[in-house]
Amino acid sequence: MNIILVSGASARARTITLDWRHWLAGSVTLLVLFIAFTLLFNFLTLEWAAAVRHPWLQAIVLAGQREEAQRNLEKTQGHINAMALRLGELQARVLRLDSLGERLAKSAGLNPDELPSGAAPDDGKAGKGDAPMDSTGKGATRGRDADPAPGRGGPVSSLPSRSFTEREFETMLANLTEEVDTRTDQYAVLEALLVEDSASRKFLPTHEPIPDHWFSSNFGYRIDPFNGLRTFHEGIDFPSPVGTTITAAASGKVIFAGVHSDYGKMVEVDHGNGLVTRYAHASKLLVKAGDLVLRGQPIARVGTTGRSTGAHLHYEVRLNGTPQNPARFFKPG
């Protein structure tokens, strides 16, 4: 394409030839100008609409923003509903923990009512006594397959329902967190009590040193088998064949393992708190002084050494040096 330019002063003509490159540059320039004009027009329109605050103009300008806000609100509400459903499962787990705690308290010999309550005051907030929450959220993330959520259900309520607000959810979550922390402290104390009780039982001489055997002499006054006099017998006698295994009645430390003039070969075990058990007339000692023994561990063999009329175990329990009736410890409880 040729363009001829004629100058009036000199009457000279100039010819300009336009090829495809000129057309391309012109098209790009027009496109850039159009985009710049459109952006400037939109900016000025928005500024003017914001300044004028005309309802019709504001409705047009803010329509897109409202749709985006609505989408974000629906998305957020969906997350809250799903988390509320999960929170309901956690509340059910807390109720199950309460039941477990009561059983553990009874096992430890405590009154379940003595455990401090972690429930919040009845002010409409979530707490121990709240009913399981309902939600319109679909589905919920389950815990481990080995620990499924407790089963719950019921008919649809005839009363109107609504979704939880963010503030309500935050309040319930804070209350539940406080409640779980309280339960954790309670069960930590309860566990310590159970461990202490279990340890105490291990150091009480409740295990018979020769199980399933009868007594030939009980604790208390009896006729002495050597002189026929009425004397006090400070233990009980288990008649058994020579070589029968004698086991520790409780865990403790061996404080004596040797020969006594009256008791013959003897073992004494200290269980702490002034409690000592004595095993006499043995034929062989399996422990030595200073050894630590466990409940039910073999410590000697039955014999007839010392002041004895036949093979048997003379067994004593002493508290701060005073003889106790060993049979009292063998009874259940």
Structural tokens at position 213: 């055997």
Q: Which of 55-64, 204-213, 244-253, 284-293 has the lowest mean pLDDT?
A: 55-64
Task: Provide the whole-model pTM.
Answer: 0.47
Kind and range of the H or E run holding 89 = helix 55-107
Q: Where are the domains of the chain?
A: 2-52, 67-128+165-202, 220-330
Tell the residue number behind the tokens 């001489």, with chain if given.
Answer: 205
Kind and range of the H or E run holding 40 = helix 20-52
Torsions phi, psi for 237 (to 5 deg): -110, 130
Chain-centroid distance, C-alpha 238:
47
Quote the pLDDT of residue 61: 61
Confidence at 317, pLDDT banded by 50, 70, 90 = very high
| Residue 117 DSSP one-character state | P
Confidence at 306, pLDDT banded by 50, 70, 90 = very high
Strand partners, 272: 275
CA–CA separation, 77 and 79 (whole Å)? 5
Query: Which of 2.70.70.10, 1.10.10.60, 3.30.70.270, 2.60.40.10 would CATH assign to domain 220-330?
Result: 2.70.70.10
What pLDDT, in 10s, does the model give residues 94-147? Answer: 777 777 777 677 666 666 665 554 443 344 444 444 444 444 434 444 444 445
Which residue in 154, 197, 209 sits closest to 326, CA to CA? 209
CA–CA separation, 165 and 73 (whole Å)? 11
Better pLDDT: 54 or 219 = 219
Better pLDDT: 52 or 302 = 302
Better pLDDT: 181 or 147 = 181
Give whichever of 135-144, 185-194, 235-244 has the largest mean pLDDT: 235-244
CA–CA separation, 62 and 275 (whole Å)? 86
H-state helical runs in 108-202: 166-202
Taking the chain, what is the end-to-end CA distance rounded to the nearest angstrom? Answer: 117
Cα–Cα separations (whole angstroms), residue 177 to 58, 119, 225, 259: 45, 11, 71, 64
